[in-house]
Each structure stands twice: as C-alpha cells, then as structure tokens.
Amino acid sequence: MDTGLFKTIDSTSTIIIQEDGEAKEKDRIKRLPGQPQVEFSQYGGYVTVDKLAGRAFYYYFAEANEYSKKSLPLLLWLNGGPGCSSLAYGLMQELGPFRVYSDGNTLYKNKFSWNNAANVLFLESPAGVGFSYSNRTSDYSNCGDKTTAADNYLFLVKWLERFPEYKDRDFYIAGESYGGHYVPQLANTILYHNKKANRTIINLKGIAIGNAVINDETDYTGIAATDKADNDALFLDIYNIYAPLCFGGNLTTHPKRASVTNFDPCSEYYVYGYFNRADVQEAMHANITKLDHDWDLCSDVIIGWTDSPSSIIPLLQEILGDGLRILVYSGDVDGRVPVTSTQFSLAKLKLPILTEWHPWYLNGEVSGYTEVYRGDLTFATVRGAGHEVPAYQPARALSLIQHFLAGKPLPKSS
C-alpha cells in the first residue's frame, strides 16, 4: 500500500468533527428554477475541507424517493478531467434526475436517473472545479491525485456528520474517465482509515468505473486501434465516434423538443447557461463567495497537477484483496478510452475468468457484453455508448448500475 497517499490526513481517524445540526436543513433545495415536480428531496451546499486555507467543496445530493431512500445505498459520483465538474456531466448530462432544455432556463426529468437505484451524491472536486474554491490561490497550482483523494475523504467524513442517517449505509463510489484514478484512490483511502481506526468509518462496499483511465501503457496500446478516428477528431466526436456534432451552441428562446433517449450534442451549452444564472446559484446555495470567474464545465482555474501515477492496477488489486466488489464498464463507441484499452488494462490483473464473455440484455436487445473475474470484478461493455455511458445509453446504464448495486449478474437472456 502506498501510504504516501494518506500523509496529509493521518489524523482524521482521531478527529471528532462537529457539524451544525441545522446544516443539513439549510442545504435543502426547495426547488430549482424551471424544475418539474419531483418526489424526492434534494440538497446542495458547501463542506469545508481545510478551514485554514478556506478550501470548500460544493456538492449536490439527490435522494431516492420517499418510499425507497431508506433501503437504497449511498453512491458518490466523480467525473474526471482532471478538473471537470460532476454537476456539468454526471448530474445534468448523464445520470442525474434532470436535463436542461435548449433555452438554458428549464429542466426536464431523466426517467433513467440513478436515484432510482441509489441516493446519489455529486461532488465538484478538487478546489477550482465548478463552484468549489479555495481562498489560498496556490492550491490551484498544487492539485494532484494525492491531495484530491485526501480532500475527498475529508469531505465524506464531514458530509456524513451532516447526514448521519447515511453513516452506516452501504456506500459505493462511481465515476468515469480520469475517475479511474479518483475512484480507486478514494476507496483505498477509506480502507486505510477504516483499518487504522479499527472500525468502519465509511461502509464502503464497492466501486464502479466507466471508460476509465487505468494504466498508461495499455491505455495507449488500446488507443492505437482508434488512431484513425483520433486523426479525424476535428470532424467527429472522439468521445463517441458515431455521435452528431454540435454546430450551433446558442441558447434558444423556446426550448427545443427533447428526450433523454435522444442525445443532444449541444447540451454542454445549455448546462453552462443554466448554472451561470444567479437565481439558479441562489437556489442551489452555490457561489456564496462570488467567484471571480464563471462556473464552467471543466476548470480553467487549476493550472498545475503535481502527481498522477502511471498505473492504478496495484490499487485495484488491493481493493479486490480487501473484499470489495468492482464494476468496470465501457461504452463501445468511445475513441478516447476505448474498449480495447480497458481490456488490455484488465489483463494486467491476471485474474481467472469465472463467467466467460457473453451478451447481456435489456428489453429484448443485446445491450453489451460481459465477463466476470475471480475476486468479484465484473467487466461490461455498453452497446452504442460513448465515453459518458449514461449520456448516450441511459436505460442500459441504469440497468447496469442496478444489477451491480444489487449484487446480481447482468441478464443472460431477453
């Protein structure tokens, strides 16, 4: 175990963190501007991870509906980058309960939201991403994998004090792209502190990573198979080589007809417009310090990244050795971290195969292919999905995560 990952937070397991009992209720979001009627509670606000530096992370939390929220697990979602917002992608373009119409003012429901399967927490991390910030500007040039894992852990410990009903709940971490670093590193940090404290501080059960950056050598080997697409990146979307391009990102006066099952390549512009509205920020309890820059999908504020290991394979081996379950999934038309990269990376684990490669199904159709390895690691492809799997195939993505969280194999027949 690389204990250097934990040096900045070694004292955490002995710190008693005090949270204002009213903080949770202050974070309750009564209604977002342009939001349809919903049957779940939502919260948003800041958690300070370093009081001296004035470093605080913004979160948005969508509980499951009132009938199932007490029985479903807690799931943290982390987008990658490094430096991209989990609100920009995970929340508003992938697995969150809403999508933004083309007017940048109104929202519509995502019936395939992952809060059908879990209580879902979205985090903007590290400082400088989205609404998250630090009063010490040097933090923006000293970001890295180790500090991000440490801060994400501190965020979780403090957030659970604010939401104590989730302290003993089964907990999962999921993410995509550079989340292939963030997710295993945070999992490893949690396991380290649970062992050090000789008790379960956070009840981590498993992780899920999609189209993930895992191992530089094999990632690049896999990308070589898509070099032609990469060379044509100006003329196609490398994150989904069959998706349409956006040729006009201006907001519309009236919202265009939209559906979560019809991918809109211009949706980033709608999300940017929505989150930069003052009334939206006020409703979300965001941007309370009045940042000197716009909220953006990926950060221009972070100007340095100090550490990034070439391989996460050793961490995945440790996580499996500690009895956690792992789901690795891959949209099969992604040209940035293609299926081939993931297959080459997983081969480095040298795990025996328990269930051979076979199709899995949803609604009478092949939804992808899967195999299961000894040690409780499942690999699954998602047919017709690009880099951000839930954005392109929301129903298949929801089925995938539902089966994983329930500990059930993907359906072998229609």
Compute the mean pLDDT over every residue in the chain, rounded to the nearest whole number: 92
Average pLDDT over residues 162-189: 98
Q: Quote the DSSP letter at residue 244.
A: P
pLDDT at 13: 40
pLDDT at 229: 53
Residue 290 located in a structural domain: yes
Instruction: State phi, psi for 218 to the nearest 5 degrees.
Output: -75, -30
pLDDT at 238: 86
Question: How many CA atoms does the CB half-sphere of 412 hold within 13 Å?
Answer: 8
* Those residues with Cβ within 8 angstroms of residue 99's Cβ, 6 or more apart along the chain or in another chain: 92, 93, 107, 108, 109, 110, 258, 260, 267
Instruction: State phi, psi for 268 to the nearest 5 degrees.
Output: -60, -40
Average pLDDT over residues 281-287: 98
Q: What is the CATH number of the domain that holds 134?
A: 3.40.50.1820
Query: For residues 329 and 335, which has the higher predicted lDDT (pLDDT)?
Result: 329
Strands 325-331 and 353-362, by their bridges, are unpaired
Task: Tell me which residue of 42, 127, 124, 128 sits closest to 86, measured CA to CA.
Answer: 124
Residue 240 located in a structural domain: yes
Provide the residue type at 247 as one letter.
F
Task: Tell me which residue of 152, 259, 250 sits closest to 207, measured CA to CA.
Answer: 152
Contact 274, 98 (CB under 8 A): no
Residue 383 located in a structural domain: yes
pLDDT at 227: 62
Separation CA 213–CA 230 (nearest Å): 17
Number of domains in the chain: 1
pLDDT at 74: 99
Average pLDDT over residues 6-21: 50
Residue 411 located in a structural domain: no
Contact 226, 67 (CB under 8 A): no
Catalytic residue numbers read: 177, 334, 387
Conformational region of residue 171, where left means phi above 0, alpha means psi within -120 to 50, and beta covers everything else = beta
Convert the pLDDT of each residue in 223-251 to its tens digit: 776 665 556 555 788 888 888 898 877 77
Average pLDDT over residues 77-99: 97
pLDDT at 14: 41
Convert the pLDDT of each residue in 338-365 to its tens digit: 999 999 999 999 999 999 999 999 999 9
Task: Tell me which residue of 32, 42, 47, 62 sits closest to 133, measured CA to CA.
Answer: 47
* Those residues with Cβ within 8 angstroms of residue 383's Cβ, 6 or more apart along the chain or in another chain: 332, 366, 367, 368, 393, 396
Domain that holds residue 350: 3-406
Strands 119-124 and 365-373, by their bridges, are unpaired
Separation CA 88–CA 38 (nearest Å): 21
Residue 413 located in a structural domain: no
71 has pLDDT over 80: yes
Separation CA 33–CA 25 (nearest Å): 19
15 pLDDT band (50/70/90 cuts)? very low
What is the SS3 assignment for 302? coil
pLDDT at 6: 57
406 has pLDDT over 80: yes
Instruction: State phi, psi for 221 to the nearest 5 degrees.
Output: -60, -45
pLDDT at 61: 99
Residue 304 located in a structural domain: yes
Alpha-carbon dihedral sign for residues 288, 142, 273, 114: negative
Separation CA 389–CA 400 (nearest Å): 10
Convert the pLDDT of each residue in 301-311 to its tens digit: 999 899 999 99
Residue 215 located in a structural domain: yes
Strands 98-100 and 74-78, by their bridges, are unpaired
Residue 212 located in a structural domain: yes
Convert the pLDDT of each residue in 113-150 to its tens digit: 999 999 999 999 999 999 999 999 999 999 999 999 99
17 pLDDT band (50/70/90 cuts)? low
Lookup: tokens for 109 = 């429901």
Neighbour count for residue 310 (Cβ, 10 Å): 9
180 has pLDDT over 50: yes
pLDDT at 12: 43
1 has pLDDT over 90: no
**DSSP assignment of 90-124:** IIIIIISSEEE-TTSS-EEE-TT-GGGTSEEEEEE
